[in-house]
Structure 1
Amino acid sequence: MAQQRFVPGKVSVVLAEGDEPLSNVSNNAYFGDVLEKRLTRRGVLKGGLATVIAGLMATKLPFNNAFAAQDGVSSPSLGFKPVPVSAADKVVVPDGYRVQSFIPWGTPISGDMPAFTHNGSGDDQAQQVGSHHDGMHFFPLNGSSTDGLLVLNHEYVEPRFLHAAAAGLSLDRNGFPQHADGSRDADQVIKEMNAHGITLVRVRQAESGEWGVVQDALNRRVTAQTPMRLSGPVAETDHVKTHYSPDGTMTRGTINNCAHGVTPWNTYLAAEENWAGYFANNDADIDRRQTRYGIETRETGRYQWHRADREDDMFARFDASSKGASATDDYRNEPHTFGWMVEIDPMSPDAAPVKRTHLGRFAHEGVIFAPAVEGQPVVAYSGDDARFEYIYKFVSRQPYQAATADGSLLDEGTLYVAKFNEDGSGEWLALAPGQNGLTPDNGFADLADILVNTRSAADVVGATKMDRPEWGAVDPVTGQVYFTLTNNTRREEGDEDAANPRANNNFGHIIRWQEEGSHAGERFQWDLFVLGGDQESSRDLAGNTLNDDNMFCCPDGLWIDPDRRVWIQTDVSESVMNTGIFEAFGNNQMLVANPETGEIKRFLTGPIGQEITGVVTTPDQRTMFVNVQHPGATTPADDFAAGNFISHWPEGGSAIPRSATLVITREDGGIVGA
């Protein structure tokens, strides 16, 4: 997540690891513009904005029984005492709960099970849990709640903590060791590549209640080097033909995997979020397939992988410059093989992951599926996590049949983008050939062209610019869809709208909507669920400000459990964490909300310098898994050089900080959160 620093008369952007620069220059409506018109239509003066927003949030979306399993809608309990804001280097959970730190970066899971050491090799890392834990799901084995496959994303790395050779160097969280000529040690690059991607590991609860890793044939790593198949309308087109795959059917690796998705046929989808920064490109002329995603003429990439001190196209592919006579002679098209959702079958370790191109190409935060209904289309939602980008929906062409469903359902259908209207209505605009201006005359030759250029297509059809769409969730009873909008300080006065109501939006909010008819429909009704912020600027569903028990900002991770509790995770950027207007919020945290009453309680606070992200429970809801990403990231460069890390979590003492998973249970064995 990026944080932007705002100074009157001047805006400078501080990008967090992997974030991209602002690239949406379209004239599409801002979500803030929509809200402002909605308020003006009600005859409200701008000075009364807070009061009006409170009134809008106190209204409820019309309930649609078509989505409910029964006429009555139960309201979930939040049966715990909220924890206070914390700036301590530890995890705090409510009284009556216990927490175990689990599978930190470097935990061995496969092969010869190489033990974690700070100076481990790149090949060792391929057999160990990756770094920067993020989205995650628990796949039970034989229906068990004590034995299953835990699958989790690893968004990026912090090289200074990854490499023992970085000790003593003055490196900030973006820095990495380099040779004097700017090249990189090849094994360090391989280690960074292998610390990216996805971990699949069997885990089991012992009689003591502790969880441990089980050596199993299902355990594996998917990394930035893993061969992957391209599928859907973009596969085999000129857009994705490279030296590695001249026929455009394959690519290698997945990077910057943020949130995830779980299909109705029980496979895992890993999102490729801020992948564009990994690529260098020296070409003077770069077309929209890269510029619209933040790639511009530059010699550098995020980690300079293309400058490894060993000649190998596993490194060279991160230089997208045109070097050969055609695209199959170099890697000018390599960036076009990223920005997709990657499907992985957890139970088939020999199957190649598949990039499903009909879900669109952008900075996918994740993907969420509406409950699958026999004989009806499969519906999936995804947010593009960048300032002023969009929310999308995919509707399959073929109906869902549980007996035969598989990933091919994601290869044919219609991709839509959301438009939020000022009166609280909304519509889904099709990104399909010949519709909404997507014609050859307007620069879109065919469906593959539209999908490779998803953002440009959304610009043309008139989608609403949002405040960084992050995670989504679907209420299993009402069918209402929730999305977090984490923040956007680049939204200026006058650019507000109904769905993005605040200029200089430091604190973010959560929007929700109800589809008309079914999730496959093309219209919806929307409203705001909560405005994050301090005790003056925030608003809950009832229109009240948040308080000491639930004040939060920068909502990011989101999950709704089977009992309808809405779990909210925060990601205040490490560049501003515990400083200025963000000091009041302390370390990043996780809260839980009642979707009916809007009641919110703080459930967990994490250690120093981290992001709380990824949440899921076992089927019986008695064990919860939560991820802690990049503890210690706020360590200044000089302190790092001196060995003074600001966090030593989870091991304590003088240990280097490591991302890890939390295992949370109730002392009485009850349902988590109830």
Structure 2
Amino acid sequence: MHQKDDNSVLFGSGDELPSNHSRNPHFNELIETPLARRQVLAGGAALGTLAFLGAALPRVSLAGEHAGQAQGKPAFRSRRKLPFTPVAISRADGISVPDGYKASPFIPWGTPITGSYPAFLEDASNSAEDQAQQTGMHHDGMHFFPIDAQRGPGRSSDHGLLVLNHEYIDAGLIHPNGPTVVDGKRVSADEVRKEINAHGVSVVEIRRNLQGGWDVLPSARNRRITAATPMEIRGPARGHALLRTRYSPQGTATRGTQNNCANGFTPWGTYLTCEENWAGYFAARDSELPRELSRYGVRGSSRYGWETLAGDEFERFDASRKASSAEDDYRNEPNHFGWIVEIDPFAPESVPVKRTALGRFAHEGLVFAPVKPGRPLVCYSGDDSQNEYIYKYVSRDKYRPGRSNGSLLDDGTLYVARFDANGKGKWLPLAIQDKAFQKACAAAGVTFADQGEVLINTRLAADIVGATKMDRPEWGAVNPDSGEVYFTLTNNKSRSEPDAANPRPANAYGHIIRWRERSWNHAGRSFSWSLFLLAGPESDSVGPNGQPLGAHSLLASPDGLWFDPEGRLWIQTDMSGSQLSSGPFGNNQMLVADPRSGELKRFLVGPQGAEVTGISATPDFRTLFVNIQHPGEGSTADNLLSTWPDGPGKRPRSSTVIISREDGRRLL
């Protein structure tokens, strides 16, 4: 998730302003004193003291606890300490990795991948058409699909499809001299089209070469999905009156995906890209906004001013009421965003699909519980904005290997989490036919016409049932050893009252929470939760071993999360502002934690001004892909705050980094 202290409007940060004005309890109201917070960390809040001292939790019967368990592998593996020398805190303009490892930039912004393969021009004078054939700007969530993964996990580690998100753009870098603006309005259609084409997703076929490096292949599978790509709408909201627009009077189709942050991938081999801070792309100048706009932070002006140009392709970003019916304007266009989009990377002719059953909010990502044949599919997503919620989806139908597809994501129940002070929690259904939901709506004096309207107004529905406000819930990950679900809560400076699950007022540093479902297949309504880590300086932090963080483990604003095949947790950070410029943490970084032992070490430090985000690996675990986003954030053509990865005098470019051991062995 891109974060920045600046909240200016035109070409501003892109962070959502808080829009949750409900009286729901906040996670940090659950613990009111530092002593109580320490007791939760040490005592485990119903999960047991051992969990918080880094020891293995008692074995429980969890379906699909680990993919290898069905093959006779133990649920908890013994292993030695993290086998690398931790990297020191740094503010250098480069990539630092441990001794014995190497890190190489790969497919930076502007890399030609399709069409006529236009080369990237160092003065950023490429056209909009060029940009549609090149990797987009600001790499984020990512997944490596082995080339043999069309119908399963795949085993190829030398050849595959790398699929990655492009979250947003830096207007000061994407054009030779910044955007052309006259009297507060955009005047160049090609500039705006270029910005639209720099958003979205890239699909890139890659192969390991004889020297051990990786090459982009000139493949028909290579593809750019942008903020203008035609898409379908599926699920309960398909065809809803609130989705009808001039472009799609039936409310079944839309154009584009944008502000794509984290991601997910399905058991049937497709990619899921998640629309996060999309509200700022739209302007709505009506005196009163409907709840499906106001509750999501749509305002009277937009971030990039795309709607100020004439023409249908730009006017759709103006959600003001301009006609007598929704079919004649774009009042409902913002309702087409905030969804999770499914993309088949192996079928370049396929149309991406927005899956509305998964809810509409600022999706940070989507992570699946262990998949078990003949059982419902379960997945989790966080709403990455201050004081928003964590959600779970349970499919109606059961997963059938080789037969299930994206329709499994169209019929099911969406739940929102309530965290209680006693270390327990409940999943509250957001289902119009559920009696408890009906009762909560009646008590709040709120009505919904149908389930489609509930999902279009997911945040409001969660407010009504009493979900727990969280400190920017971002990436999630499921421990392959224990089945526990981990989520980062990056930070939240807007709140003054603590609770158990968000135990600090004005939480500048963030923390990581985890929970264990009470049901063996993750589909139930009860869970037990605990805190895994409190980020911050040594004077105000607690690591997974129950001790303050130290020189090799200090971090703030945890964001990206990923479990490797052997149950180690990789943590990426997204600090901004003073935390980067003058705090004790240095540049953004990536650390590795062992939940069993409580060990935590810094593995990578990124360049100046960059966020470390997005992570995936080859099946043989010899190659790690990590994304470096917005190096030198805030740079302009005449004021370069970083020159990574191309060197002195060159514009900074977001880029994937390929990490491997110098001896070619497994990473850890």
Q: Which amino acid aligns with 2:368?
A: F
Q: 2-side partners of 1:18 and 1:376: how far apart?
A: 39
Partner of 2:54: none
Kept in 2, the 8 Å contact 1:65–1:478? The answer is no
Kept in 1, the 8 Å contact 2:593–2:600? The answer is yes
SS for the counterpart of 2:416 is strand
Q: 2-side partners of 1:13 and 1:191: how far apart?
A: 23
Kept in 2, the 8 Å contact 1:53–1:543? The answer is no
Q: 2-side partners of 1:560 and 1:465: how far apart?
A: 26
CA 1:579–1:246 in structure 2 vs 1: closer, same or farther (change >3 Å)?
same
If the length of structure 1 is used for normalisation, what is the TM-score? 0.92
Q: CA deviation at 1:71?
A: 5.7
Partner of 1:40: none
Cα deviation code 1:42-96 (max 9, x no counterpart): xxxx363564354245542664232433665114552100000010000000000
Q: 2-side partners of 1:47 and 1:269: how far apart?
A: 39
For 1:542, which of 542, 545, 554 is the aligned residue? 545
The answer to whether residue 151 in structure 2 is matched with residue 156 in structure 1 is: no
Kept in 2, the 8 Å contact 1:4–1:14? The answer is no
Q: CA deviation at 1:446?
A: 1.4
For 2:284, which of 278, 281, 301 is the aligned residue? 281
If the length of structure 2 is used for normalisation, what is the TM-score? 0.92
Alignment of 1:60-459 (within 5 A): 60=51, 63-67=59-63, 68=65, 69=69, 72-77=75-80, 78-117=82-121, 118-142=124-148, 143-166=155-178, 176-180=179-183, 182-296=185-299, 298=300, 300-308=301-309, 311-435=310-434, 436-438=436-438, 439=441, 442-459=446-463
Structure 1 gaps of 5+ residues are 6-11, 37-45, 167-175
Q: Which amino acid aligns with 1:632?
A: G
Partner of 2:23: 27
Cα deviation code 1:359-409 (max 9, x no counterpart): 000000010111211110000100000011000000000000012100000
Q: CA deviation at 1:13?
A: 6.7
Q: CA deviation at 1:449?
A: 1.1
Q: 2-side partners of 1:262 and 1:4: how far apart?
A: 28
SS for the counterpart of 2:246 is coil
CA 1:604–1:14 in structure 2 vs 1: closer, same or farther (change >3 Å)?
farther
Q: 2-side partners of 1:104 and 1:542: how far apart?
A: 37
CA 1:164–1:281 in structure 2 vs 1: closer, same or farther (change >3 Å)?
same
Q: CA deviation at 1:20?
A: 1.0
Q: CA deviation at 1:577?
A: 4.1
For 1:670, which of 661, 665, 668 is the aligned residue? 665
Q: CA deviation at 1:226?
A: 0.1
Cα deviation code 1:549-608 (max 9, x no counterpart): 0100100000001111100000002x334334xx21010000010011221100000000
Q: Which amino acid aligns with 1:477?
A: D
SS for the counterpart of 1:459 is helix
Partner of 2:509: 507
Q: 2-side partners of 1:366 and 1:404: how far apart?
A: 25
For 2:639, which of 637, 644, 657 is the aligned residue? 644
Number of equivalences: 635
Deviates more, 1:179-188 or 1:69-78: 69-78
Q: Which amino acid aligns with 2:306?
A: W
After superposition, the CA RMSD in angstroms is 1.7
Kept in 1, the 8 Å contact 2:19–2:297? The answer is yes
Q: 1-side partners of 2:405 and 2:4: how far apart?
A: 41
CA 1:467–1:350 in structure 2 vs 1: closer, same or farther (change >3 Å)?
same
Kept in 2, the 8 Å contact 1:75–1:564? The answer is no
Cα deviation code 1:215-253 (max 9, x no counterpart): 100000000000000000001110100000001110000
The answer to whether residue 627 in structure 2 is matched with residue 657 in structure 1 is: no
Q: Which amino acid aligns with 1:578?
A: L
CA 1:379–1:479 in structure 2 vs 1: closer, same or farther (change >3 Å)?
same
Q: 2-side partners of 1:389 and 1:663: how far apart?
A: 34
Kept in 1, the 8 Å contact 2:3–2:574? The answer is no
Q: 2-side partners of 1:269 and 1:626: how far apart?
A: 18
Q: CA deviation at 1:2?
A: 7.0
Cα deviation code 1:451-483 (max 9, x no counterpart): 000000000001000000000001123111000
Q: CA deviation at 1:540?
A: 1.2
Deviates more, 1:536-545 or 1:147-156: 536-545
Q: CA deviation at 1:181?
A: 5.5
Q: Which amino acid aligns with 1:479?
A: G
The answer to whether residue 534 in structure 2 is matched with residue 531 in structure 1 is: yes
Q: Which amino acid aligns with 2:230?
A: P
Kept in 2, the 8 Å contact 1:220–1:349? The answer is yes
Q: CA deviation at 1:148?
A: 0.6
Q: CA deviation at 1:185?
A: 1.1
Q: CA deviation at 1:282?
A: 1.0
Q: CA deviation at 1:416?
A: 0.2
Q: Which amino acid aligns with 1:318?
A: F
Q: 1-side partners of 2:278 and 2:75: how far apart?
A: 44
The answer to whether residue 613 in structure 2 is matched with residue 613 in structure 1 is: yes
Kept in 2, the 8 Å contact 1:592–1:602? The answer is yes
